[in-house]
Structure 1
């Protein structure tokens, strides 16, 4: 008689990371995001904390963990920038939740999926940040340069792929 397993796909493919990786990678991304654009202004187009949020959210495949990861990374990013506290926290928490939810249903290890996810989440974050600034904070004169946001999404996607491959090496199956 064949044995049946009641283990879900999420439980089979859930990954964990060494605590040092879990802590140091997001902190490094946040610090690089805060410090690199000062001497190199063109690097302000990158959003390394977003890339790290997406990676950890889809790898863990837990919407709660993805939301918390995004919120913490976003809040720390806000603390080191001139954004009002909570703006990036809200945006990255939403991205973390959606990314983890997608990670449960879709093979997120495929290169095409990673490209589409990073590009889509970068555009979605731009939209969320615009809505927070214009609707919640009531900042007048907010507008989005969509061509710039498309270029930003493309560059972030190209940078994310090698980062994802490097971080894949740090995964532990539990």
Structure 2
């Protein structure tokens, strides 16, 4: 007779990464984002650190790890850009927590799920950045252009799919 084990999905499919990958991928995303947007301003529509935050958060399936990953990536991004320190840190912290929480419940290996997650989290980050800029920093001149944010979300989604497939090769089952 077969013996069934009742383990949660989180216990079955939680992944780890080589320490070099854990450090180098987010660092490369941040550096590329900062260096490429200076000469090519149109590339600023893509947010590589956001893509790295989403990938590592859903792969680890730990809300604590997702929160810390988002906070560290966002703070490093703030340190290298003209943003006040903490703006991207707060937004990516919330995105990392939410992505990891959803990763526990939903099959995040499915391409359709990845499309919806990346699009939704890109919109969520835009709303969070708007709230932080207007509410916390009191910058009344900061406006949210919805058409631009939808284009940004679509671009992030299109870029994230091949990046996710490439980074999937570095996963190790715990």
Equivalent-residue separation in structure 2 for 1:170 and 1:124 (angstroms)? 27
Q: What is aligned with 2:168? A: 168
Equivalent-residue separation in structure 2 for 1:170 and 1:148 (angstroms)? 33
Q: What is aligned with 1:26? A: 26
Equivalent-residue separation in structure 1 for 2:6 and 2:153 (angstroms)? 39
Q: What is aligned with 1:80? A: 80
Q: Per-residue deviation at 1:142?
A: 1.7
Equivalent-residue separation in structure 2 for 1:141 and 1:170 (angstroms)? 43
Query: SS at the partner of 2:37?
Result: coil
Q: Per-residue deviation at 1:60?
A: 0.4
Q: CA RMSD in A?
A: 0.8
Residues 1:11 and 2:19 are matched in the alignment = no
The normalised TM-score by structure 2 is: 0.98
Q: Per-residue deviation at 1:140?
A: 1.8
Equivalent-residue separation in structure 2 for 1:144 and 1:155 (angstroms)? 17
Residues 1:155 and 2:155 are matched in the alignment = yes
Q: Per-residue deviation at 1:168?
A: 0.3
Q: Per-residue deviation at 1:125?
A: 0.2
Q: After superposition, where does 1:18-57 map in structure 2 within 5 Å?
A: 18-57=18-57
Of the structure 1 ranges 36-45 and 122-131, higher mean CA displacement relative to structure 2 is found in 36-45
Equivalent residues, number: 174
Equivalent-residue separation in structure 2 for 1:145 and 1:131 (angstroms)? 13
Query: SS at the partner of 2:16?
Result: strand
Q: What is aligned with 2:60? A: 60
Q: What is aligned with 2:136? A: 136
